[in-house]
């Protein structure tokens, strides 16, 4: 349990913002399945681009459970402040600053984790955003911009002094991308220095690992990213383990089918059938990884053009699996 401004986060598990993944249907599902806080997909700080269809869907928070956390990315203090204000007008109750994304298309624009190289600019952005809005501002960053330049402790102190109200740290540097081992010592060190909540992130894929990271770093919560793709029930599994020390039984094949169909329906409702069908292909690929050894069902699914065909194929596929599970 930790506090971000006026919001008490009762479950110390946060869904990481992931562009193209953590849209409203997925956030809603993860929240229902145990996440304490979910963060929206990253949105550019250039508000002139917000009229695009992609930005409009990213800014749609209708009917979402509070608190609504929205991530913004950019490298210009004024633009970031304006983006924060606009995000609040669109319903954001927490504004999250992205200094953690290692993607080249973000870093080439001197945003994301590339910002960590320029501590003066970081300070200006943090102050500009915090001063521009009346809602809590949080920060997501990495341990540094290269293994020999781990300046997370410097930026973390700067963030707390600027009024940042919680900090999420991915245990790799910008130059590491998502490769190599995650290190948690920097996160542990940062946590020992600050009084604001610190959330540990990076390759947390099991309940045991989540507990170990919390115990080792002293962090207030853990942030789950890629491990939730196709497995949104990971949040309730971790929560159960943290509370009881026991493993929650994996969802039955029938429940996986129901969760997947709920997710697909959410995509059709949110995006409309044309886009919903296409976005469903990516998510269904992740769900079926554990069940479709030959990838043949995924290939079939990706060729389908209507919600009805997609739903029928999933029902047929899981009906065959249910038979196997009940026979076992």
Domain CATH for 155: 3.20.20.70
Ramachandran region of residue 133, left (φ > 0), alpha (ψ -120 to 50) or beta?
A: beta
List, for residues 114-154, the tens digit of each pLDDT value. Answer: 678 889 999 999 999 999 999 999 999 999 877 788 899 99
For residue 303, is pLDDT > 90?
yes
Mark whether 52 and 85 lie in a shared domain. Answer: yes
Asked if 142 and 264 sit in the same domain, the reply is no
Task: Name 284's Cβ contacts closer than 8 Å, sequence gap at least 6.
Answer: 260, 264, 298, 301, 310, 314
Set 30, 101, 107, 176: catalytic member: 101
Q: Between these two residues, 107 and 65, which has the higher pLDDT value?
A: 65
Is residue 106 domain-shared with residue 206, that is, in the same domain?
yes
User: Domain ends where: 225, 244, 263?
Assistant: 244
Give yes or no: residues 257 and 240 share one domain. no
Q: Which of 226, 244, 262 is the last residue of a domain?
A: 244
Catalytic status, residue 101: yes
Domain hosting 310: range is: 253-327
93 and 168 co-located in one domain: yes
pTM above 0.75, yes or no: yes
pLDDT in tens, 8-51: 999 999 999 998 999 999 999 999 999 999 999 988 888 888 88
Q: Indicate whether 49 and 132 sit together in one domain.
A: yes
* Mean pLDDT, rounded, for 304-323: 91
- How high does pLDDT run on average in the chain? 91
pLDDT for res 105? 55
- Indicate the number of domains in the chain: 2
Same domain for 164 and 145? yes
- Phi, psi values for residue 182, rounded to 5°: -80, 140
Could you tell me what percent of the chain has a pLDDT over 70?
A: 92
């Amino acid at each position: 349990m930790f506090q971000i401004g006026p919001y008490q986060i009762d479950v110390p598990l946060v869904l990481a913002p992931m562009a193209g993944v953590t849209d409203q249907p997925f956030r809603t599902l993860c929240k229902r399945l145990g996440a304490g806080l979910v963060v929206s997909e990253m949105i550019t700080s250039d508000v002139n681009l917000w009229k695009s269809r992609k930005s409009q869907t990213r800014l749609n928070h209708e009917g979402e459970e509070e608190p609504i956390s929205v991530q913004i990315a950019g490298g210009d203090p004024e633009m970031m402040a304006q983006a924060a204000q606009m995000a609040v007008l669109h319903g954001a109750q927490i504004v999250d600053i992205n200094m953690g994304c290692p993607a080249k298309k973000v870093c080439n624009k001197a945003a994301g984790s590339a910002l960590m190289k320029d501590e003066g600019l970081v300070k200006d952005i943090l102050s500009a955003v915090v001063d521009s809005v009346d809602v809590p501002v949080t920060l997501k960053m990495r341990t540094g911009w290269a293994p020999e330049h781990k300046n997370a402790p410097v930026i973390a102190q700067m963030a707390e002094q600027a009024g940042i109200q919680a900090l999420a740290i991915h245990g790799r540097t910008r130059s590491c991308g998502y490769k190599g081992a995650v290190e948690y010592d920097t996160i542990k060190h940062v946590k020992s220095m600050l009084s604001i909540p610190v959330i540990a992130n990076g390759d947390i894929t099991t309940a045991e690992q989540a507990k170990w990271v919390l115990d080792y770093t002293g962090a207030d919560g853990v942030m789950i990213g890629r491990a939730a793709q196709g497995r949104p029930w990971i949040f309730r599994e971790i929560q159960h383990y943290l509370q009881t020390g026991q493993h929650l039984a994996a969802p039955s094949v029938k429940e996986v089918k129901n969760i997947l169909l709920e997710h697909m329906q959410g995509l059709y409702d949110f995006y409309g059938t044309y886009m919903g069908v296409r976005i469903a292909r990516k998510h269904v690929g992740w769900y079926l990884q554990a069940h479709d050894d030959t990838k043949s069902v995924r290939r079939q699914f990706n060729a389908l053009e209507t919600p009805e065909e997609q739903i029928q194929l999933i029902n047929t596929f899981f009906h065959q699996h249910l038979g196997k599970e009940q026979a076992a």
